[in-house]
Amino acid sequence: MTSICFYFQVHQPVRLNRFNIFNGSNAYFDETKNKNIIEKVSNKCYIPTNNILLDLIDQYKNKFKIAFSLTGVFIEQCQKYAPHVIESFKQLANTGNVEFLSETYYHSLSALFSQKEFEEQIKLHRNLINDLFGQKSEVFRNTEAMYSNGIAKIIENLGYKGIIAEGHEKVLSWRSPNYLYKPTGCENIVSLLRNYKLSDDIGFRFSAKWWEEYPLTADKYATWLSKCEGDCVNLFIDYETFGEHQWQDTGIFEFLRHLPNEVFKYKNLDFKTPSEIVKSYNPVGSIDVPYVLSWADVDRDASAWLENDMQRFAFEQMTKLEEKIKQNPELLKIWRMLQTSDHFYYMCTKWFADGDVHKYFNAYDSPYDAFINYMNVLQDIKNRLGV
Amino acid sequence: MLGWEFPPAKTGGLGTHCYELVKNLGAKNVNVILLIPKRSQNVKYNIPNVEIEEVGSVPIMPYNSTRESTTTFEKGYGWNFFKEVEVFNKKCVDAALKKKFDLIHCHDWITMNAGIEIKRMTGKPLIVTVHSTEYDRTANIYPLNNIIDVEKRGCQEADLIITVSKQMKQQLIERYGADEKKIKVIYNGINASKYFGLTSKDEKNIVLFLGRLTNQKGPWFFLHTAKKVLEKKKDVTFVVAGQGDKLAELIKLSFDLGIGDHTLFTGYLSEEEINYAYAMAKVYVMPSVAEPYGITALEAVASGTPVIVSKTAGVAEEIKHCFKVDFWDTHEMANEILGILNYPVLGECMRKNGYTEIQKFGWNRTADQTIDAYRSVL
C-alpha cells in the first residue's frame, strides 16, 4: 500500500505600507492592500477549494484525507477581513479527516537566528490552532520547509513526532522521497519528504503548455501515483495553486474534484494525513542535513531570503533588536511581523533566473524598493525603541 | 547612412550612437558610407568597411547639445541653422547619387529630407532611426511645426522605422500616425569597458544630475528633491552638471530653496570630466520629463553608480537594477537617495547587479538587430 499525503500551505504576509520617511505618521502596514488580497484570494481560491474538499470528504467519508498548515498571520487577517474563511476551515476540521500542522506563527525566519524566538512562535501558533480547531498536531512544518539537523533536533525536543522537509537529491542522492527517514542526531522524530516532482506537476506545471504531459488529467496523474514505489507520496503544495496560481480556467478545480475517484480505482493507493503516515510507517534510513534545506526555487536553500547583502543587512538589523524589543509588548508584535519571510523574499535579486514566478509575488517594483521600505519601517521602530 | 553628429564633434546620444553603430556594422562586414556635415574639428577615424565623407564646407556646430556650448541652438534654432540643415541635406543628395549602395539609413529629422529625396531618385529602401522627436526636445513647450512636419513625412516615407524605445514607437504611432507594423525597437548600447574601474567613491555624499538644463531633463525636480533630502541629511552635495538656457533660473531657484551652499553648478564638462563625475557620485538621478532613451543612465551604471531614472525614459524599459520613479515625485526620489546614502549595502547591490546586467547591452547587439532590420527591407 502506498499512501498519498496531501498537505496544503496557506499563507498571506501582512504587506508593508509604502513607508516614506517624509510622512512619519504613516501606518506600517497596508490595510487596504492586505484586505483586498485576502478578499480576492478567498473568492478565487480558499472558499471554492474548501468547498470542493468538503464535498469530497462528504462523498468518500474516511477514505479521503488532507492536511493544512495555516500561518498565524494568515488567520489573523482572515479574522479581520474574511471571517467566513475561518468558518470554512473549521468545517473542514470538524469532519475529522483534516489535520492542521504546526509551524511558526509569523511564517518567520526565526529558526535561523534565535532558538528562543523560534520556540515562542511555535507555541503561539500551537495555541491558536488548538483554540480554533481543537487540534495539537504532532507534525511540524517550518517556514518554506526550512530544515536542518539542528532544526529537527529542536523540534524533536519540543515533542513532535514528524517534520516536513524537501525530498531533494542533494539530501537523498539515489534514495526515494517516498519513505520516512530519521534526521541525523535524532531518535524520536521522523522526516516526511516532499515528492517535489509530483508536487510541482500540480503546483507549477499544471497549465504549462510547453510541458510534454500537458494537459494533466486526474486519471493520468492517478496512474503515475499508482506506479510509485514506497510507503508514502508526499504532495506538499501551496494552497493558492488552486484558483490563484493556476486559474479556474486551467481546469485545476475539475482536476481536484476528480482525483480521489481516479485514485480509488487503484487498490494499492489510499490517503493519509501526515500524523497517520508517521504512525503507520517506519523510517528506512537517515538523512544528514548540516545546512539549511528548503523547498524554494532551484537552489533549495535559504538564498531566496538571505543571499544578497541587503537581505543580510536588513535581517541582521532586525534580529539585533530581540532582547530590547521583548520588553516592549506593543512593538514586539510589529517586530515579529517584520520577521515574515516574504519581506526578505521581496529583496531577492536572483529573480532574473527564476523568472516570472517570483515577479508575480513581488509587492514592490524592485528589490531595492523593498529594501528601503523595510529599512524605513525598521528605523522608525528603532527610534521608538530608543536604539 | 546619413548622420549629423560624429565624434569628436559629438554632444549627445546621437553622436555616440552613429559612431558605435557604424563601427560594429563594419566589424560585421557591412559596408557603410557615412555622410556627415563638415565640422570645425576634422573627423579622423579609420574604421574597417566604413567610408566617412564630410559634405558641405560650412562648419556647423552640433544641435541637441548636452555637453558643449552652442549658443545658436540653446537660444532656439536660428535662421542660419535651418539654412545650414537645408544646405547639408542638398549636399548629401548630390554626394549620395555618386555612390553605390543598397539602402538608405538616416537619423532624426535633421537628415530626413535628404533620405526621402535619395529614395525618390534611386528607388532604394529608406530606413529612418528616430532618436527623439521635436516634442521630446522641447518637453512639449512650443514645438516647431516645420520640424514636426519633417518628422511626420519621414515616418510616412520610410520603409522601416527604428526607434530607441517602445515609448518612442508608441509616440510615433500616436503623434505621427506611423504604421505600427513598420516600426522596430532597437535599444542603444553601451561600451561598458570604457567606464570600468573608474569608480572612486570616497566619503563625500555626491548626488549627480547630468544633462542639458532644459525643460526636457527636469532639473527643477532635481533641486526640489535636493531640498527634501537636505531636510533629513546635511552632508550631501548636489551636483548639477551641464548647461543650457535655464542655468541662471536654476541657480536662483537653488538660493530661493535655501540650498545654495549644498548645490554645485559645473557648467560645461568635458568627456573626461563627465566620467569623473559619474565615478564620484553616490547616486545618479535622471528626472527627465521626456527621455526617448537616456544613455547617460547606462554610462552611470557602467561607472558603478546606482541610478534613479524617470519611468518615462526609454532606458527604464530595459534596465532592472535601478530605481524607477515618476519625475514629479520628489518625495519618492528623496526617499531613494537617502536610502542609498544611509545604507551602503543598497548601493553595493545595485552596483554589482547593474554592472552584470549592462554587459548584455553591448553595441554588438544593436548592430545585429540593425542588420536584421536591413535584411527585412532588402
Q: Do B321 and A309 touch (CB under 8 A)?
A: no
Whether B182 and B35 map to the same domain: the answer is yes
Least CB-CB distance to B232: which of A21, A312, A369? A21
Q: Using a CB–CB cutoff of 8 Å, tell me whether A366 touches chain B.
A: yes
Residue B158 in grid coordinates? 520610410
Minimum-distance CB partner of B323 among A21, A308, A366: A366
**Same domain membership, residue B201 and residue B218:** yes
Residue of B nearest to A21 (CA): B335
B83 or B1, higher pLDDT: B1
Q: What is the pLDDT of residue B37?
A: 85
CATH 3.20.110.20 fits A2-137+186-282, yes or no: yes
3-state secondary structure of A227: coil
Among B350, B352, B356, B359, pick the best mutation site for testing chain A contact (most A Cβ within 10 A).
B350
Structure confidence at residue B200 (pLDDT): 65
Show residues of chain A in contact with B305, CB under 8 Å.
none
What pLDDT is recorded for position B156? Answer: 95
d(CA B48, CA B26) in angstroms, rounded, equals 6
CA B328 – CA B338 distance, rounded (Å): 17
Euclidean distance between the first and the last CA atom of chain A, given in angstroms as a whole number: 59
Is B317 in the A-facing interface, judged by CB distances under 8 Å?
no
Inter-residue contact A151 to A165 (CB < 8 Å): no
Q: Are residues B198 and B149 in the same domain?
A: no
B157 and B287, same domain (yes or no): no
Q: How confident is the model at residue B309 (pLDDT cuts 50, 70, 90)?
A: very high
Using a CB-CB cut-off of 8 Å, the residues of chain A touching B350 are 368
pLDDT tens for A174-227 read: 999 999 999 999 999 999 999 999 999 999 999 999 999 999 999 999 999 999
* Exposure of B49 in the CB half-sphere (CA atoms within 13 A): 12
Alpha helix (H) residue ranges in B138-215: 145-157, 166-176
Distance from CA of A374 to the nearest CA of B (A): 10
Do B117 and B254 fall into the same domain? Answer: no
Residues of B in contact with A25 (CB under 8 A): none
Average pLDDT over every residue of B189-207: 80
d(CA B159, CA B152): 13
- DSSP annotation of B315: G
DSSP string of A254-272, one letter each residue? HHHHHHHHHHTTSTTEEE-
B352 with B367, same domain? no
Cβ neighbours of residue B244 under 8 Å, at least 6 residues apart? B74, B212, B213, B214, B217
Q: For the segment B8-48, what is each residue's pLDDT rounded down to a tens digit?
A: 766 666 888 899 999 999 999 999 999 988 876 677 788 99
Number of A–B residue contacts, CB under 8 Å: 58
Q: If pLDDT is split at 50, 70 and 90, which confidence band does B76 have?
A: very low
Per-residue pLDDT tens digits for A166-186: 999 999 999 999 999 999 999
Question: Quick check: B201 pLDDT over 80?
Answer: no
Residues 6 or more apart in contact with residue B77 via CB below 8 angstroms: B63, B144
pLDDT at A355: 47
Cα A245 from Cα B272, distance rounded (Å): 51
Q: What is the dihedral of CA A205, A206, A212, A217, to 10 degrees?
A: 150
Inform me whether the pLDDT recorded for A356 exceeds 80: no
Using an 8 Å Cβ cutoff, are A41 and A78 in contact? Answer: no
Share of chain B above pLDDT 70, in %: 90
Show me where the domains of chain A are located. Answer: 2-137+186-282, 303-385
What tens digit of pLDDT does each residue of B107-125 get?
Answer: 999 999 999 999 999 999 9
Distance separating alpha carbons of residues B16 and B191, to the nearest angstrom: 10
Where residue A185 falls (left for φ over 0; alpha for ψ -120 to 50; beta otherwise) is left
Bridging pattern class, strands A180-183 and A190-194: antiparallel
Phi, psi of B183 (to 5 degrees): -105, 130
Quote ipTM for the complex.
0.86
- The partner residue sitting opposite A22, judged by closest CB among B323, B324, B334, is B334
Determine the Cα–Cα distance for residues B321 and B316; give it in Å rounded to an integer.
10
The pLDDT of residue B12 is 65
For residue A373, pLDDT over 70 is answered with yes
Backbone angles phi, psi at A69, to 5 degrees: -130, 115
- Min Cα separation A176/chain B (Å): 38
In the beta sheet, which residues pair with residue B160? B127
CB contact under 8 A, A22 and B228: yes
Handedness of CA A102, A105, A109, A112 (dihedral sign): negative
Q: Which of B323, B332, B339 sits opposite A375 (nearest CB)?
A: B339
Q: What is the mean pLDDT of chain B?
A: 88
pLDDT at A295 (0 to 100): 94
> Same structural domain for residues B237 and B149?
no
Q: How far apart are CA A343 and CA B332, in angstroms?
A: 20
Alpha helices in chain B (DSSP H): 13-27, 71-74, 79-97, 109-122, 134-137, 145-157, 166-176, 219-232, 247-256, 271-280, 295-302, 330-342, 344-358, 363-377
Chain A nearest-CA distance from B335, in A, is 6
Chain A nearest C-alpha distance from B163 (Å): 25
**How confident is the model at residue B191, as a pLDDT?**
87
Q: Which residues contact B112 (CB under 8 A, 6 or more apart)?
A: B106, B128, B150, B151, B153, B154
Our CA-based measurement puts residue B200 at a distance from the nearest CA of chain A, in whole angstroms, of 20
| CB distance A185 to A153 below 8 Å | yes
Residue B40 and residue B126 in one domain: yes
Chain A: residue whose CA lies nearest to B311: A365
DSSP category for residue A44? I
Average pLDDT for residues A29-46, to the nearest whole number?
96
Residue B298 covered by a domain? yes
Query: Residue B76, class by beta-carbon neighbours within 10 Å (0-12 exposed, 13-18 middle, 19+ buried)?
Result: exposed
Q: In the structure, what pLDDT confidence band is assigned to residue A22 with cuts at 50, 70 and 90? A: confident
Are B162 and B204 found together in one domain? no
Q: What is the pLDDT of residue B15?
A: 83
Question: pLDDT category, A99, cuts 50, 70, 90?
Answer: very high
The shortest C-alpha distance from A79 to chain B (Å) reads 34
Residue B2 lies in a domain: no
- The full length of chain B comes to 378
Q: Please tell me which of the candidates B232, B331, B345 has its beta carbon nearest to residue A309.
A: B345
pLDDT for the residue numbered A124: 98
Residues of B in contact with A380 (CB under 8 A): none
Cβ of B320 within 8 Å of Cβ of A20? The answer is no
Q: Which amino acid is located at A58 in the chain?
A: D
State how far the Cα of B101 lies from the Cα of B103, in Å rounded to an integer: 6
Q: B142 and B174, same structural domain?
A: yes
Give me the domain span that covers residue B295.
Answer: 192-358
Measured between beta carbons, the chain B residues lying within 8 angstroms of A312 are 345
Alpha carbons A96 and A5: distance in angstroms, whole number: 15
Q: Which of B334, B336, B345 sits opposite A310 (nearest CB)?
A: B345
- A25 at B interface, C-beta within 8 A: no
B122 shares its domain with B106 = yes
The three cell numbers of residue A103 are 509551524
Number of domains in chain B: 2
Q: How buried is residue B204: exposed, middle or buried, by Cβ count under 10 Å (0-12/13-18/19+)?
A: exposed
CATH number at residue B348: 3.40.50.2000
**pLDDT score for A177:** 97
Banded pLDDT at B65 (limits 50, 70, 90)? very low
pLDDT digits (tens, 9 = 90+) for A40-97: 999 999 999 999 999 999 999 899 999 999 999 999 999 999 999 999 999 999 999 9
- On whether any CB of chain A is under 8 Å from the CB of B255, the answer is no
Does residue B1 belong to any structural domain of this protein? Answer: no
For chain A, how many residues are written? Answer: 387
Mark yes or no for CB contact A368/B324 under 8 Å.
no
Q: Any chain A CB within 8 A of the CB of B322?
A: yes
pLDDT of residue B374: 96
**Tens of pLDDT along B321-363?**
999 999 999 999 999 999 999 999 999 999 999 988 998 889 9
Exposure string of B32-69, with b = 16+ CB inside 10 Å and e = fewer, is bbbbbbbbeeebeeebeebebbbbbeeebbbbbbbbee
Distance from CA of B218 to the nearest CA of A (A): 21
Contact residues, chain B, for A359 at CB < 8 Å:
none
Nearest by CB to residue A22, choosing from B324, B335, B343, is B335
A chain contacts of residue B321, beta-carbon cutoff 8 Å = 349, 366, 368
Tell whether A369 lies on the interface with B, counting CB pairs under 8 A.
yes
Check CB contact of A174 with chain B, cutoff 8 Å: no
Put simply, whether B350 touches A (Cβ < 8 Å) is yes
* Residue A119 appears among annotated catalytic residues: no
AA letter at A40: K
Does residue B129 surpass a pLDDT of 70?
yes
Q: Measuring CA to CA, which residue among A191, A338, A242, A317 is closest to residue A43?
A: A242
From A144, A166, A244, A262, the catalytic residue: A144
Nearest Cα residue in chain A from B331: A22
Above 60 in pLDDT, residue B68? no
Whether B22 and B59 map to the same domain: the answer is yes
Alpha helices in chain A (DSSP H): 31-41, 47-60, 72-81, 83-94, 115-133, 149-157, 169-172, 196-203, 218-226, 252-263, 274-280, 303-306, 309-319, 322-325, 329-337, 341-345, 351-354, 356-361, 367-385
pLDDT at A11: 97
Q: pLDDT confidence of B289, banded at 50, 70, 90?
A: very high
Instruction: Point out the residue among B323, B324, B338 whose CB comes nearest to the CB of A21.
Output: B338
* A20:B335 CB<8 A: yes
Question: Do A201 and A194 meet the contact criterion of CB atoms below 8 Å apart?
Answer: no
Strand partners for A68: A8, A100
pLDDT of B72 over the 70 cut = no
Closest by CA position to A192, among listed A204, A180, A176, A210: A180
pLDDT at B61: 53
Average pLDDT over residues B312-327: 93
Using an 8 Å CB-CB cutoff, list chain A residues near B322. Answer: 366, 368
The nearest alpha carbon in chain B to A372 belongs to: B339
Q: Quick one: pLDDT band at residue B69, thresholds 50, 70, 90?
A: very low
Q: Give one DSSP letter per residue of A63-109, joined into a string.
A: G--EEEEE-HHHHHHHHHH-HHHHHHHHHHHHTS-EEE-B--TT-B-
B82 within a domain of the structure (yes/no): yes
Say if B325 is an interface residue toward chain A (CB within 8 Å): no
Q: How far apart are CA A139 and CA A151, in angstroms?
A: 13
